[in-house]
């Protein structure tokens, strides 16, 4: 073996590769024979070197251009100066030059030894092919509203969750990061929420199939489909928009090995929120209930005890390459992010293999596999709650060990709990494994007809455990508690398609038919026990297994048939129409299937003779679409009458069945009827503008309606009314500078949305009366309905509210009252005109390049939404909770002290001042903000400096997230959920988001 490799180093590299990859038995026995054969071959086909430079039409050097000898795996890339060098053997060979954002070009060498190649811009992506529905189209020919974000633009924020990377990147896409917990997902809402109890989350489509797992590092690009012409083919699950994720595929050429490494630190942001220290709290409480000065012997900063500087690291290695027939992409990833709250973290491992091969001239196959393993540790000892509420007078440690608030003799805090003691013993953790396997086939039956079969199998397994040790407050009452759960699930999907394309003269027609079936199965088991010896976190030692273990399984089926016709004339006039019929087992037996339709049209004005070759207007297109889609994002069995087996319904000691959900065989699909008018223009081949106006009406809203106890049921699913979202989206990209050394690009987007409930079923005026966010016809879904705070009585420091009074003649007047109970009426609870939904959202990114340096700054902003700062009811309560710490008054606030004071806060009184902390507009705050989401500085190391050690490219960077936030909100962070899947517009004991400082190095071999 040693001699074999010794001979390898004595021959040319090309001969060595031939020897290693394709030896015959006789050659293996006689290395000299092999060398002679290869040397003879080399003499017949002598290598020669071709060098050159690749530039844009403006003369700018293009680094990273892929250059491949057509029909082979031989290739290279340009360096930072656009220069390249490649060894060839055939003087008549063809080189293929490709680069993102530029038109691919093929050049015949014809024996030349120097080539200077110019690549033409694709008009800022207008010739980029994007996946829309079940097909791929050039952007310039789309009749629908879409936004595409490349992997380069996704890297601006460091996260292992795709929704976090989309924030501020596309108009109309609102992402709310409601928690800094790395195990907590962000919420995505596209073009406003149009549902009550069903999910408002968009549908994810990965590599052409619904659902699927992926790692953001492996994502090539993301396309957001927003109007019905784009989303409609996905039928019942497209009501909330569609996010199409395309993962990276290999490219023909030499094998590249890429390493991407990021590490850094994060810390919690606190915004305008500050808690009092011991002296400040003592001084405040002394104004109404003086404490003994001895409490000042301790000054514990519980916030600092609960939070830490956390570590973040992300490491990825990938291999890609292949021939013109077969390509591959393989990657492995490790990600770990500590939460800024102690004992909280997320760890992930990901492996992906994407293979694509042209098996014959007619048949192409792709096999895509992804495996994702995650391990989460949750904060489980009331750590976050105690960090806010614990008094600074209580000690965190005694004799070097955490104090136990239950046994400490002079503990003053209300809950007598020290999380530092509890976390020594308690835990909450979960782990999951998710795999996804795709087998996709495309067969060209003729040059006009293609048959495709896309198939996916998803498998998942998860388990979790929560343990409360008997030595802690949480576990003490039951002598220790343990809760275990596990689940298994799978989903099978087959999507079979036929496509017919025809060109006749200037006419182009494409017909598409799809038959799709999907089934999913899941089983869940939970069991818990109590009476566990200290430190024994296994159920086998429990003295009492709780009597309510649960075990259930569920199965859901979807079936879909669709047809689409796509026509264009002379690449100027485009028409597309589709029909979808879908079945789902989720709905009542009387409405288990539904039909949807979509129509779209566009006119490329710039292809008309009167605008062709216009030096100012590079491109112009007008778009129009209309159609229907559906929402089926409801729990399994929502239409059925359900019973639960419970000890509370036992007979003779045997658990019995009791009803909890009433059946509704007429439950039907939530339907969305939407229209979109848009235009796209490009000026001077440098400025791109897209504007969309939309109107979206959601009908037959799915609502989980509570029922009175007298019915014997808890709730029933019904179709409950309609809601409308109208809005405008605006996106601008400007290539400000494109010189040889200095470049500058600006991306700006903004969206305005207005929401209104049009009607509620049964003519009801209001759903959920008494709720802060009731549903009422004529109002925004997120509009607050509260007693109106009228400030502080300057004479006595009492709180005041507006009371609505109707006299005997029906005249309505307002009067001030200090009685909270008197404003707890339907009349005095007023619609405020203030909503959880923002008036507009957007993002701004500036990217500059100078020689090898790059700099980018990304802002996102939200304006006009209101947040109920519920945490103030605990920490800004006018003396009610003396055993809780209090927040320092924000800028502009003042507290009443004497008659005549005009103040924002009432007089503090032991036990509280007349219910001043109860729910009202007092705690309703402007949630608008602008945030410097990311700043990144990078440097591409010159190729000459790294090629000696075998590197083709190398980049180093430093990145910072959430450096600054401008807001009036007085809590730790103004971001709040806009989705009804959470509690929208509410900020309570919040896990604040993190500020991150990260360093990274990426290099390619």
Q: What is the pLDDT of residue 764?
A: 65
Q: What is the pLDDT of residue 412?
A: 93
Q: Does 72 have pLDDT greater than 80?
A: no
Q: What is the pLDDT of residue 11?
A: 32
Q: What is the pLDDT of residues 908-928, one digit of tens each?
A: 999 999 999 999 999 999 999
Q: What is the largest CA-CA distance in the chain?
A: 115
d(CA 597, CA 614): 37
Sign of CA dihedral 818, 823, 824, 830: negative
Q: Is 355 left (phi over 0), alpha (psi -120 to 50) or beta?
A: beta
Q: What is the pLDDT of residues 604-655, one digit of tens each?
A: 999 898 888 888 898 999 999 999 998 888 888 888 888 877 666 677 667 7
Percent of the chain exceeding pLDDT 70 equals 92
Strand partners, 554: 522
Q: Does 28 have pLDDT greater than 50?
A: no
Q: What is the pLDDT of residues 734-747, one digit of tens each?
A: 999 887 788 899 99
Six-digit token string for 340: 């800024």
Strand partners, 481: 468, 530
d(CA 440, CA 364): 8
Q: What is the pLDDT of residue 27?
A: 42
Q: What is the pLDDT of residue 221?
A: 86
Short-list 375, 376, 370, CA closest to 459: 370
Q: What is the pLDDT of residue 61?
A: 77
Burial track 835-863 (b if 16+ CB lie within 10 A, e otherwise) = bbbbebbbbbbbbbbeeeebebbbbbbbb
Q: What is the pLDDT of residues 379-422, one digit of tens each?
A: 877 899 999 999 999 999 998 999 998 888 889 998 899 999 99
Q: Would you give the end-to-end CA distance of the chain in angstroms?
A: 26
Cβ-proximal residues to 69 (8 Å cutoff; 6+ apart), any chain: 75, 86, 88, 93, 94, 95, 96
Q: Does 999 have pLDDT greater than 70?
A: yes
* SS3 track for 192-255: CCCCCCCCCCCEEEECCEEECCCCHHHEEEEEEECCHHHHHHHCCECCCCEEEEEECCCCCEEE
d(CA 690, CA 619): 11
How many CB atoms sit inside 10 A of residue 211's CB?
16
Cβ-proximal residues to 835 (8 Å cutoff; 6+ apart), any chain: 755, 780, 781, 782, 783, 784, 865, 866, 985
The pLDDT confidence band at residue 157, using thresholds 50, 70 and 90, is low
Least confident window among 28-42, 122-136, 783-797, 881-895: 28-42
Q: Does 665 have pLDDT greater than 80?
A: yes
Burial track 241-268 (b if 16+ CB lie within 10 A, e otherwise) = bbbbbbbbbbbbbbebebebebebbbbb
Q: Does 346 have pLDDT greater than 90?
A: yes
Provide the pairing of β-strand 654-662 with 715-719.
parallel
In the predicted model, what is the mean pLDDT of the chain? 86
Q: What is the pLDDT of residues 856-910, one digit of tens each?
A: 999 999 999 999 999 999 999 999 999 999 999 999 999 999 999 999 999 999 9
Least confident window among 24-33, 562-571, 710-719, 721-730: 24-33
Q: What is the pLDDT of residue 166?
A: 82
Contact 66, 54 (CB under 8 A): no
Q: Model's pTM, two decimal places?
A: 0.84
Q: Does 138 have pLDDT greater than 80?
A: no
Using DSSP's 3-state secondary structure scheme, residue 944 falls into helix
Q: Where are the domains of the chain?
A: 1-46
Q: What is the pLDDT of residue 121?
A: 67
Six-digit token string for 610: 């009167």
Q: What is the pLDDT of residue 156?
A: 59
Percent of the chain exceeding pLDDT 90 equals 52
Q: Which helix (H) or strand (E) holds 25?
A: helix 25-29
Least confident window among 190-204, 401-415, 434-448, 463-477: 190-204
d(CA 582, CA 602): 27
Q: What is the pLDDT of residue 630?
A: 87
The pLDDT confidence band at residue 3, using thresholds 50, 70 and 90, is very low
How many CB atoms sit inside 10 A of residue 163's CB?
20
Six-digit token string for 452: 């495709």
Q: Does 44 have pLDDT greater than 50?
A: no
Q: What is the pLDDT of residue 542?
A: 77
Six-digit token string for 820: 């909270």
Task: Tally helices (H) and strands (E) across the chain.
Answer: 14, 55
Question: Which comes out higher in pLDDT, residue 834 or 15?
Answer: 834
């Amino acid at each position: 073996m040693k001699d074999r490799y010794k001979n390898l180093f004595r021959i040319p590299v090309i001969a060595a590769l031939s020897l290693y990859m394709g030896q015959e038995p006789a050659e293996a026995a006689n290395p000299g024979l092999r060398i002679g054969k290869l040397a003879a071959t080399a003499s017949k086909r002598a290598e020669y070197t071709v060098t050159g430079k690749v530039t844009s039409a403006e003369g700018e050097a293009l680094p990273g251009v892929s250059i491949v000898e057509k029909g082979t795996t031989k290739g290279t890339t340009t360096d930072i100066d656009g220069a390249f060098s490649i060894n060839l053997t055939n003087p008549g060979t063809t080189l293929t030059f490709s680069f993102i954002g530029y038109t691919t070009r093929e050049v015949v060498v014809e024996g030349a030894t120097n080539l200077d190649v110019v690549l033409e811009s694709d008009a800022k992506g207008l010739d980029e092919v994007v996946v829309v529905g079940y097909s791929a189209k050039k952007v310039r020919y789309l009749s629908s509203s879409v936004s595409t974000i490349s992997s380069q633009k996704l890297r601006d924020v460091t996260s292992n969750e795709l929704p976090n990377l989309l924030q501020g990147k596309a108009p109309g896409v609102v992402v709310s990061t409601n928690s800094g917990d790395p195990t907590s997902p962000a919420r995505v809402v596209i073009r406003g929420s149009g549902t009550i109890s069903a999910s408002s989350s968009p549908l994810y489509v990965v590599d052409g199939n619904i659902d699927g797992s992926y790692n953001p590092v492996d994502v090539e690009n993301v396309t957001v489909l927003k109007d019905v012409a784009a989303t409609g083919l996905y039928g019942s699950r497209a009501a909330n928009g569609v996010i199409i994720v395309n993962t990276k595929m290999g490219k023909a050429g030499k094998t590249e090995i890429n390493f991407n490494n990021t590490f850094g630190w994060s810390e919690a942001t606190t915004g305008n929120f500050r808690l009092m220290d011991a002296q400040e709290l003592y001084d405040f409480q002394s104004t109404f209930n003086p404490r003994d000065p001895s409490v000042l012997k301790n000054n514990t900063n519980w916030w600092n005890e609960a939070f830490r500087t956390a570590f973040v690291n992300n490491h990825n290695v990938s291999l890609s390459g292949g021939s013109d027939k077969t390509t591959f992409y393989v990657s492995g990833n490790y990600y770990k992010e500590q939460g800024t709250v102690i004992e909280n973290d997320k760890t992930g491992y990901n492996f992906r293999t994407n293979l694509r091969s042209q098996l014959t001239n007619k048949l192409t196959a792709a096999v895509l596999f992804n495996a994702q393993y995650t391990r989460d540790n949750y904060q489980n000892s009331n750590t976050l709650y105690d960090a806010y509420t614990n008094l600074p007078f209580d000690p965190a440690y005694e004799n070097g060990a955490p104090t136990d608030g239950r046994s400490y003799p002079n503990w003053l805090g209300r809950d007598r709990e020290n999380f530092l003691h509890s976390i020594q013993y308690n835990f909450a953790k979960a782990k999951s494994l998710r795999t996804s396997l795709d087998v996709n086939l495309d067969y060209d039956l003729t040059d006009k007809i293609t048959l495709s079969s896309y198939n996916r199998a998803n498998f998942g397994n998860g388990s979790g455990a929560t343990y409360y040790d008997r030595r802690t407050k949480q576990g003490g009452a039951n002598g220790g508690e343990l809760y275990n759960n596990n689940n298994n699930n799978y989903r099978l999907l087959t999507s079979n398609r036929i496509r017919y394309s025809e060109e006749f003269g200037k006419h182009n027609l494409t017909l598409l038919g799809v038959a799709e079936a999907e089934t999913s199965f899941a089983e869940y088991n939970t069991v818990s026990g109590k009476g566990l010896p200290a430190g024994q976190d296994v159920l086998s030692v429990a003295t009492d297994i709780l009597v309510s273990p649960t075990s259930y399984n569920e199965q859901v089926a979807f079936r879909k048939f669709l047809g689409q016709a796509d026509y264009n004339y002379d690449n100027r006039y485009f028409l597309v129409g589709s029909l979808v019929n879908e079945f789902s087992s989720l709905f009542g037996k009387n409405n288990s299937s539904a039909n949807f339709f979509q129509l779209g049209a566009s006119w490329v004005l710039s292809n008309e003779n009167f605008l062709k070759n216009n030096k100012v207007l590079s491109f112009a297109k007008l778009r129009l679409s209309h159609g229907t889609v559906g929402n089926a994002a409801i729990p399994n069995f929502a239409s059925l009458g359900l019973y639960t087996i419970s000890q509370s319904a036992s007979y003779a000691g045997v658990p019995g069945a009791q009803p909890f959900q009433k059946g509704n065989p007429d439950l039907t699909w939530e339907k969305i009827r939407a229209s979109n008018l848009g235009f796209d223009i490009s000026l001077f081949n440098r400025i791109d503008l897209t504007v969309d106006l939309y109107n979206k009406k959601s009908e037959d809203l799915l609502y989980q309606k509570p029922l009175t106890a007298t019915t014997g049921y808890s709730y029933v699913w019904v179709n409950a009314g309609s809601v409308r979202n109208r809005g405008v989206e605006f996106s601008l990209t400007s290539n400000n500078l494109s010189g040889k050394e200095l470049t500058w690009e600006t991306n700006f987007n903004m969206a305005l949305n207005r929401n209104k409930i049009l009607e509620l079923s049964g003519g009801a005026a209001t759903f959920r009366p008494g709720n802060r966010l009731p549903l009422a016809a004529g109002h925004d879904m997120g509009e607050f309905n509260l007693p109106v705070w009228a400030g502080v009585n300057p004479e006595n420091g009492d709180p005041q509210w507006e009371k609505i009074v109707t006299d005997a003649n029906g005249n309505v007047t307002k009067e001030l009252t200090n009685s909270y109970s008197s404003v707890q009426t339907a009349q005095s609870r007023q619609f405020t005109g203030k909503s959880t939904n923002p008036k507009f959202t957007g993002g701004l990114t500036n990217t500059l390049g100078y020689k090898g340096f790059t700099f980018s700054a990304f802002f996102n902003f939200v304006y006009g939404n209101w947040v109920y700062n519920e945490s103030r009811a605990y920490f800004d309560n006018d003396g009610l909770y003396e055993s809780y710490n209090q927040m320092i008054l924000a800028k502009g606030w003042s507290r009443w002290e004497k008659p005549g004071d005009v103040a924002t806060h009432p007089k503090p009184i032991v036990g509280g001042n007349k219910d001043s902390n109860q729910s009202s507009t007092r705690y309703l705050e402007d949630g608008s903000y602008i945030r410097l989401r990311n700043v990144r500085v990078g440097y591409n190391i010159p190729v000459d400096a790294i090629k000696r050690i075998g590197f083709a490219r190398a980049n180093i960077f430093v990145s910072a997230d959430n450096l600054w936030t401008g807001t009036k909100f007085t809590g730790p962070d103004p971001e709040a959920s806009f989705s009804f899947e959470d509690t929208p517009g509410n900020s309570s004991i919040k896990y604040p988001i993190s500020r991150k400082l990260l360093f990274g190095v990426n290099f390619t071999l």
